[in-house]
Each structure stands twice: as structure tokens, then as C-alpha cells.
A = this chain, B = another copy of it.
Amino acid sequence: MEFEAFTASALADYLGGIAEVRDRLGDPADLEIVEVGDGNLNFVYFVTNTKARERSVVVKQAPPFLRLVGKNWPLSCQRMDHEVAALRRFGALCPQHVPQVYHADGKRFLMVMQHLSSHRILRHGLMDGVTYPLMAEHLSTYLAQTLFFGSDLYLAPDIKKQAMSGAVNAELCKITEDLVFTFPFEDHPSNVYSPALPKSALERLRTNDALRMAAADMKWAFMNHAETLLHGDLHTGSIMVNERETYVIDPEFAFYGPMGFDIGALIANLLLAYFSRDYHGRLNGGDPAAYQEWLLDQTVRIWNGFSGKFLALWRDHESRSGRPFIGGSADSRAVDAYRAHFMRRLLADTLGFAGCKMIRRIVGMAKVAEITRIPDAELRAQIEVRALRCAEALLVQRTALTDIEHVVLLARDVEHDAIAQR
């Protein structure tokens, strides 16, 4: 059966037929329905009762193809099952930062969920230079809760293995394996390059052995290290914020993978915001420096906040259970030494993944608005070169960068060197 997107009236009828949703929305005749998908993967509708606009939901439906490309890139609709399962799991772990699912329909590949009507996409807020005072606090909590409770540090090993095998998401993982870890490092037809991006910058991605090995290590880890249930696509377009609240949406890429992948995706996007700020921050004669420092500060707060909260959950759990992961007594020196060692390894992973995520946004198919919306080709290419330089350093030096403050120094160095060379 050919997939057909809902017409507004068909969707209103459908929603009217689900008691729970109808109770929430009111009379189907009063509904306003607007399609707002970003066009990459899914159809997304805001459904609002025009007589009581606080009564609203989001409907998300998965077509059997990659919407960005069209019917020539088929995708199974089962990704909606992954997304629903992940939203429910993350919602149970961290309800304050995950939208509620009101209704899921496996046959129509759609779900009805909480409408975050007073929130905006974090990426857009960052492009406008908005500061969110609670964002780092919220996101570090989200990361600590979701990454810890899905892992062998918390779950009984049989439960974890069952969860892992139930969360296999081969089709969407393949997109990441190709678009993040492979195509950017070769001359692939799906790559999209800025016209002014120097050939040498592209050549470097294909010929720097240390960089290639590091990226391949990250690909291997992505494909093999089934550490916890990940969001799988945690960029700043998957986060909705306002002054008081932060929500993480769109976990259709969820699977059991390496913890650093989610944290790295987030840090990559903060760093892309940082480098592109040199353009957006100068609009209307502004100075980008203060907001750039705010972005770096958020990066530090997110990692340090995450690390502290993750360690607290870990310590708490082991002192309650009396059974530390490494054996022995929960208060032994080795137990703490291992935790510190684990976090250093996790930071290295995080930085490696951040590097890959930055590179794919510069040379791969899927871009980020803070860069594509720089109209001056030369300026855009300069910013892209800085992002690539930072990404390379993150990848190659990931085990030497033993704390997040070093990462901030590195980013600042890349930015200021580049500016000095103008």
C-alpha cells in the first residue's frame, strides 16, 4: 500500500476516534492542524483546539522513506516503534525532560504526544544568541539519568542484554554509520561542500592517517560498544527549551551504543554554535565574544554536571547494593579509582564522537542551520575550516584531553588563531 500523508480532515477524524486524545483536544471540528516537520525524516503536525489553544498535541508519523531524499531512500516505518519505546523508557527515567506519549499506533506508524508549545528548538535559540540559565543543569541530568540506568553499572546483566537485543535499530544505525563515520572521509556523491571550502581541508579528511584511524575507532565503537540505550541523535535540533524547561525529543535513532555518542553529539553542536557565532554574533554590529564564552561555559557545565551526577548515581547505587562493578567492597580505593578512570575513558569517547559529528555537519549531506545560513561563502568557509580543525584535534587528541577545560582552551585557540590570521 502506497503511503499517503494524512489530510488535515482525515487526521482530525482519526484523532477524534481515540478517546484519550479526544478528551485532551475537544471537538474535532475545532481543530487546527499544521504540518511542521523539518523535512528530514517524518511528518509532524501541531494539532490545536482553536477555541482553547492550550489544548494541543503533536502528531508524528513516519513515512516509509527518508523524507529528505524521497521515495528513492526507503526506510521501514518501524522507526516509530523505536521512537515510542525510547520516549517511554527515557520518560520513565527522566520525566521532567522527555515529552509524554499520549497514544501510539504501530499500524499507522504514528504517535500523539505532548505539545511543547512554549518551547523552541535549542538550535534556533542559540542562533539568536539566547541564553538559557537552566539548560546545562537539565541536559546534564538527562544525560546522567538515561546513560546510567540503561547500563551494566545499574541493570542486572540479563536484563541489560535483553534490553540491548530488543533495541537493535539496524536501519537507522546504518544511516549514522554511513553519513557520520564513512562518507565524510571519502569522496562520496552524497557529500555536500561549501563552494569556498579549500580543497586542502577536504584532502586532509581523506589523507591524515591519524585522523582516519581515530574516526575508524569511533565507527568501530559505535557499531560494537553496546553500553546503554542512547538517544542516538542528540543534536541541538533534538532539544526544546525555554527559560524554565528543557525537553529532549526525537529519539528514533535510539539503540544500545557507546555512552559518549550522545554527549559527544551535544558538545559537537555547542561547538558548531560557538564557531558560527563569529558570524551570527556580528549581525547588527554585535560582538560575538560574550555569547561565545557562554557557549563554552555551557559545554563545561554539561560535561562536569553530567560527570558529577553520573558518578553520584553510580556511587549511590553501589553503596546501596554493596556490590561494586569491579567487585570487592564498595568503599575501597580501587572502586573510586576505577570510576575516575571510567570517566576519563568516557570523555575521550565523547570527544572522538564530537569530532565525527562536527565533520559530518561540514562535509556530509545533512547540515546545520547556523552554518548553512551564513550567506557570505568566504566567511562561511572560514568558519567551517575552524570547525574542521577543532574536530580533528578532538579526534586525534581525545585521550590526551583529560578534562573538559582543555577542550575549551582548544576551541578558543582554534578560534583565535583563525581570527588572528585574517
Residue in chain B with minimal CB distance to A169: B161
Residue in chain B with minimal CB distance to A257: B224
| Residues of B close to A162: CB separation below 8 A | 168, 170
| Residues of B close to A181: CB separation below 8 A | 327
| Residues of B close to A215: CB separation below 8 A | 326
Q: Given A326-B215, A338-B212, are A174 and B152 neighbors across the interface (CB < 8 Å)?
A: no
CA distance A333 to B326 in the complex (A): 40
Task: Knowing that A157-B174, A216-B341, A225-B225 touch, tell me 6 more A-B residue pairs with CB under 8 angstroms.
Answer: A152-B223, A157-B173, A161-B170, A209-B334, A216-B338, A217-B345
CA distance A174 to B162 in the complex (A): 13
6 pairs across A/B with beta carbons < 8 Å? Answer: A164-B168, A213-B338, A224-B226, A225-B225, A225-B226, A226-B226
Q: Which of A46-54, A182-190, A192-200 contacts B (4 or more CB under 8 A)?
A: A182-190
| Residues of B close to A325: CB separation below 8 A | 216, 219-220
For the side of the interface on A, what is the size category? Answer: 35 or more
Asked if A282 is at the interface (CB within 8 A of a chain B CB), the reply is no
Asked if A106 is at the interface (CB within 8 A of a chain B CB), the reply is no
Asked if A83 is at the interface (CB within 8 A of a chain B CB), the reply is no
| Residues of B close to A212: CB separation below 8 A | 326, 328, 334, 337-338
Query: From residue A171, how far is it (CB to closest CB) to chain B in Å?
Result: 7
Asked if A165 is at the interface (CB within 8 A of a chain B CB), the reply is yes
Asked if A262 is at the interface (CB within 8 A of a chain B CB), the reply is no
Q: Which residues of chain A in 203-230 are interfacial with respect to chain B, using CB atoms and an 8 Å cutoff?
A: 206-209, 212-213, 215-217, 219-220, 223-227
Query: From residue A407, how far is it (CB to closest CB) to chain B in Å?
Result: 23
Asked if A158 is at the interface (CB within 8 A of a chain B CB), the reply is yes
Residue in chain B with minimal CB distance to A325: B216
| Residues of B close to A225: CB separation below 8 A | 224-226
Identify the A interface with B (CB < 8 A).
Answer: 152, 157-158, 160-162, 164-166, 168, 170-171, 173-174, 177, 181-183, 185-186, 188, 206-209, 212-213, 215-217, 219-220, 223-227, 325-329, 332-334, 337-338, 341-342, 345
Q: Given A162-B168, A185-B328, A333-B209, are A223 and B157 neighbors across the interface (CB < 8 Å)?
A: yes
Query: From residue A187, how far is it (CB to closest CB) to chain B in Å?
Result: 8
Q: Given A152-B220, A185-B327, A326-B215, are A161 and B157 neighbors across the interface (CB < 8 Å)?
A: no
Query: From residue A219, how far is it (CB to closest CB) to chain B in Å?
Result: 7
CA distance A208 to B332 in the complex (A): 11
Query: From residue A205, how far is it (CB to closest CB) to chain B in Å?
Result: 10
| Residues of B close to A160: CB separation below 8 A | 223
CA distance A334 to B210 in the complex (A): 8
CA distance A186 to B185 in the complex (A): 46
Q: Is the CB of A337 within 8 A of B223?
A: no
Query: From residue A276, how far is it (CB to closest CB) to chain B in Å?
Result: 26
| Residues of B close to A326: CB separation below 8 A | 182, 185, 212-213, 215-216, 219
